[in-house]
A and B are shown apart, each in its own frame.
Chain A
Amino acid sequence: MGKLETLDIVMLVLLPLLSGALWYMVGYADRVKNSKWRLLWLVPVASCFLIVYVSGLEKLLIPAYLASAVTAVGLFIPERKTRRAASVASWVLVLISLPLCLFSKTYRSVDYVKDFNDGFESMKAHYVLAEHKEVDWDALYEKYLPEFQAANKAHDKVANEIAWYKFCAEFHDLHVNFGSDEKTRDAAYTRVSGNDYGLVICTLADGRTVAIEADESLSEKGIRNGTEIISWNGIAPAEADELNELKQMYSFADEDNEKFYEGFFAAGTGGDTAEVVIKDESGAEKTVELTELSGDYYSRVKEAFKKIKGGMNVGHMTVTKINDTTACLRIKLMQFDSLSEKDNHKQMKQELCDNIREMKNQGVRDIIIDIRENGGGSGTMVKAIGEVFAPEGEYYYVSDAYFDHDKKCYVSEGDGKWKTVGDVTVKGENILGDEGRIVLLVGSDSVSAADHLTKLMSGFENTTVMGFTGPSGSAQGVSPIKLKSGTFSYSSSLMLNKDGTIFIDCGTDMQADDDAEVIIPFDENALHAIFDDGNDYLMDKAVEYLAEIER
């Protein structure tokens, strides 16, 4: 019975009890001869209706619903035989419902196709980048509908999740997302990720493909972090990468970011064994056969992602002294708290300024702002932080788009330009003074408002944006919609540049407009520092940069 929902159990128990009671009451109602007793034959249908009102309709319970309706016959035909037959029929119908609910996969299942249709239609109506990205809605619908139909047929929640992830990745916009719960998400990634052979392959800045996150058991075969991988199962890692379905589920808004992660999915492909050609320590090519360690490549690649993308592991909005002249402000999310949002972050700004001044009193001159893995949040917080760190003067941030309330849409002016309604600027408070310099550390998971901060601060004379890659490149306003199987979100509010072009987000060229000024090459030094020594290589590079910079 564990599978049945409580209210359905109540109904399946209550109806036979009521039918039994009505069987007994047949004789009593006959003797009393009071017409009010007839109303008793409406009690099952009323109870059933109340339960359905709370728990919702379920196809497999139709026999039980009929069972309650059948007993109502006793109201219309007040004869002993009919009423008793109705009670028996009610019993039988409930007994039909019970095994149907217990053993059918369709019991209380979500209609994934309807969910997809609802989400798709909503997005088609309101997605603000459709024109910019030249979205072919019909082609997308035709491509993904079969996947949702298959998930629906199999009542497979994980398959539904996979289909959504792949659909979302098509837009190259990190604001197009679907999510149900963590367990289903992990199951979805794990299902398609392939086998774990004990390593992940990545591409170094010089183009070589090497092993990272290598399992210790591979060292006897000559594979360690940094070992060059020439081919994987007879093909180049970049080609093997394309064979892994997991890659189709990852979205990149910027081509450079996508290129950086080329090869990451290759080492999940293959059968029980994988034939790998490596370059050994002497420089000679050698073929080794790797045996599958487990069927879960996702856990390994997730760990590799975490090490490369992860930011400083301290509290949100904390300022940590790194050395005598440098401190780090860690911003994990562009949100502070609900009160702060209401007063335009005045209090937050005050606290931040106090912390920075305190650091300055201790001799700190420069600041590293770490927004790696910052999932975004509020534009007003971006503005507040921008104001604190901007040099004196006025700096342009973004333009709001004009929304035509009669036509219920934003107004296009042709040539990829939209009508603006006003510019947003920040007035610099120059808290670091003329000597202070800022490094903004970004990564491919610095999304949305983190993209905004990157774009805004890249216009400051005192700031350098740095990272292995630029930020995500997704910057429009996002709205979520609640579907039965999860929450689906997409860009629904337009953010523009001064000339009316789209702010940051890429079009069909996959070139987002907020790259890092200084790209730190992911080379052997970076690889060993991150995967062997566990260092925060980017942070070290930022400190080094600030020490060497000419002022």
Chain B
Amino acid sequence: MKNLIKAQLYQISHTRVYYLVFAAMMLLSALFGAVEYLNGSDSLEEWQKLTASDFATRIDTIVTLSMMGMTFFAAYFCADDFSDKTANYEMMSGRLRKQAYFARASVSIVMCTLFGLIMVFTSLGVSYILNGWGDSVPFSAVAIRILLLTFPFIRLSCLYVMIAFFIRRSGLSFLAFYGLMSVVSILKAADDDSGVLTAFSSIGKLMKYNEWHIFGLESGVEVVYTPMPEAGFIVRCIIVSLAVGALYLVIGYNFFHSDDLE
């Protein structure tokens, strides 16, 4: 399996379109981080500026964007080798289906998760460079929340892997993920107190800072955030994300190991 993983990484590193998509997504991410600056934040008073710490409390747009990028990479890393029969040749040359499946799955999961995290950090970094950090929330809390995104990202990547192996067409898989994301965005989700019913609710809860408001007659309304999520939620999020991710992989493998490969 080690060789299959190496082959996957080699293939990825020698495919120009992946670089182009990656660069485009990073540019988009940087643009989001620079929006305030481009809107003229440098001419504002210090207290009027939307600093990086403020940006961190409303970063869910970037997270959604990174999930869109993940759909592309998962679809092409997992399913592209079926159209040119690379996967078939692997098995004809004596590789097990298990190896073909888990090599692609592990590469996709790691790459997608890393991509998601890099994208979020890039956006935040650009905002920090241009607008300063501010004092809405400490950097450590923001970093922890973003790093915790690793787990729902893994869960989501596993789902993408499972669907990609069901469909085995990269374009169609990408379309299916896109459809899934659209449906989830359109439907209004019920309140999920546990925050782990779906990967989306975990991400939402990680990115939502509990807040309350204070105001004075002359000082206007100020939002005060609670930097860290609850410990119980963090534990739930990690355990459920890993367990459900594993379940997706098992279902995907179960289907793939007896699927017709034409």
A residues with a Cβ closer than 8 A to B are 34-36, 38-39, 42, 50, 52-57, 72, 75-76, 78, 114, 122, 126, 379-380, 383, 397-398, 400-401, 403, 405-406, 408, 421-422, 424, 477, 479, 481, 484, 492-495
Does the CB pair B217–A75 fall under 8 Å? no
In the complex, the answer to whether A35 meets B259 with C-beta atoms within 8 Å is yes
Instruction: Report if B219 contacts A (CB, 8 A).
Output: yes
In the assembled complex, B21 has its CB within 8 A of some CB on chain A: no
What 5 A-B pairs come out closest when comparing CB atoms?
A400-B216, A56-B190, A424-B217, A493-B214, A379-B217
Q: Which of A39, A52, A380, A495 lies in contact with B255, CB distance below 8 A?
A: A39
Residues of A within 8 A of B255 (CB): 35, 38-39, 75
- Contact, CB under 8 Å: B219 / A54: no
Asked, given contacts A39-B166, A53-B187, whether A400 binds B197 with beta carbons under 8 Å apart, the answer is no
Given contacts A50-B183, A398-B217, A477-B215, 15 further A-B contacts (CB under 8 A): A35-B258, A39-B166, A53-B189, A53-B197, A54-B187, A75-B251, A122-B212, A126-B212, A383-B217, A400-B217, A405-B135, A421-B219, A492-B212, A492-B213, A493-B213
Q: What is the interface of chain A mostly: helix, strand, loop, or mixed?
A: mixed
B145 CB to closest chain A CB, in angstroms? 17
Bound together, the chains give a CA A383 to CA B217 distance in angstroms of 9
**Are A401 and B216 in contact, with the CB atoms below 8 A?**
yes
CB pair B224–A495 under 8 Å, yes or no, is no
CB distance from B226 to the nearest CB of A (A): 9
For B189, list chain A residues within 8 Å (CB): 53-54
B215–A56 touching, CB < 8 Å: no
Tell me the nearest residue of chain A to B168, going by C-beta.
A36
Interface residues on B, range: 20 to 34
> Which residues in window 155-172 of B have CB below 8 A to A?
166
Q: Which of A126, A421, A481 contacts B216 (CB 8 A)?
A: A421
Q: Give A317 to B101 CA distance when docked, in angstroms.
A: 73
Asked if B14 CB lies within 8 Å of chain A CBs, one says: no
Measured CA separation A172–B187 after assembly (Å): 43
Answer yes or no: B2 CB below 8 A from chain A CBs: no
Question: Do the beta carbons of B192 and A56 come within 8 Å of each other?
Answer: yes
B219 (CB) vs chain A CBs: closest residue: A400
Chain B nearest CB, measured from A328 CB (Å): 27
Task: Verify B197–A477 contact, CB threshold 8 A.
Answer: no
Select one of B198, B219, B258 contacting A422, CB under 8 A: B219
Report how far A69 CA is from B153 CA in the complex, Å: 24
Measured CA separation A55–B251 after assembly (Å): 25
Residues of chain A within 8 A of B183, CB atoms compared? 50
B158 to chain A, nearest CB (A): 15
Give the Cβ gap from A216 to chain B, nearest Cβ, in Å.
Answer: 50
- Residue numbers of B with Cβ under 8 A of A are 135, 166, 183-184, 187-193, 197-198, 212-219, 222, 224, 251, 254-255, 258-260
Contact A53 B135 (CB under 8 A): no
27 A–B contacts from the bound complex (CB under 8 Å): A36-B259, A38-B255, A39-B255, A52-B197, A53-B187, A53-B189, A53-B198, A54-B187, A54-B190, A56-B190, A56-B192, A57-B192, A57-B197, A72-B251, A75-B251, A78-B258, A126-B212, A379-B217, A380-B217, A400-B216, A405-B135, A477-B215, A477-B216, A479-B212, A479-B213, A481-B212, A494-B214
In whole Å, how far is B218's beta carbon from the nearest beta carbon of chain A?
6
Q: Which residue of A55, A75, A126, A406 contacts B190 across the interface (Cβ within 8 Å)?
A: A55
B217 surroundings in chain A (CB, below 8 A): 379-380, 383, 397-398, 400, 424, 495
User: B135's closest neighbor in chain A, by CB?
Assistant: A405
Give the chain B neighbours of A50 by CB distance below 8 A.
183, 187
Contact, CB under 8 Å: A477 / B188: no
Query: What residue of chain B has the Cβ atom nearest to residue A383's Cβ?
Result: B217
Pairwise interchain contact A56-B191, C-beta atoms closer than 8 A: yes
Q: Report A-chain residues with C-beta under 8 Å of the C-beta of B215.
A: 477, 493
A408 touches B224 (CB 8 A): yes
A477 surroundings in chain B (CB, below 8 A) = 214-216
Instruction: Kindly provide the distance from the CB of B214 to the nearest chain A CB, expressed in whole angstroms.
Output: 5
B165 to chain A, nearest CB (A): 11
Measured CA separation A508–B66 after assembly (Å): 54
Q: Are the CB atoms of A406 and B191 closer together than 8 Å?
A: no
Q: What is the CA–CA distance of A466 and B191 in the complex, to the nearest angstrom? A: 48
Q: A401 to B193, alpha carbons, bound, how many Å?
A: 34
Distance, CA A224 to CA B232, complexed state (A)? 63
Kindly provide the distance from the CB of B246 to the nearest chain A CB, expressed in whole angstroms.
15
Q: A38-B255, A53-B190 in contact; A424/B212 too (CB < 8 A)?
A: no
Residues of B within 8 A of A484 (CB): 191
Residues in B neighbouring A492, C-beta threshold 8 A: 212-214
Shortest CB distance A429–B (Å) = 19
Give the chain B neighbours of A401 by CB distance below 8 A: 216
Neighbouring A residues of B197 by C-beta, 8 Å = 52-53, 57
CB distance from B210 to the nearest CB of A (A): 9
Q: In the complex, A493→B220 CA distance in Å?
A: 11
Q: Is there contact, CB below 8 Å, between A75 and B198?
A: no
How far is A43 from B56 in the complex, measured between Cα atoms in Å?
38
Q: Chain A contacts of B259 at CB under 8 A? A: 35-36
- Give the Cβ gap from A202 to chain B, nearest Cβ, in Å: 37
Docked pose: A42 CA to B252 CA in angstroms: 11
- In the complex, A50 Cα to B214 Cα: how many Å? 38
Per the bound structure, the CA–CA distance linking A403 and B193 in Å amounts to 31
CB-based contact A493/B135 at 8 Å? no
**What residues on A are CB-neighbors of B214 within 8 Å?**
403, 477, 492-494
> How far is it, in angstroms, between the C-alpha of A353 and the C-alpha of B91 when the chains are bound?
88
CA–CA, A479 and B183, complex, Å: 34
What is the minimal beta-carbon distance from B38 to any residue of chain A, in angstroms?
Answer: 26
B222 contacts A403, C-beta separation under 8 Å: yes
Per the bound structure, the CA–CA distance linking A88 and B224 in Å amounts to: 54
With A400-B216, A493-B215 as known contacts, state yes or no: A76 contacts B198, CB within 8 Å.
no
Q: Closest B-chain residue to A77, C-beta based?
A: B254
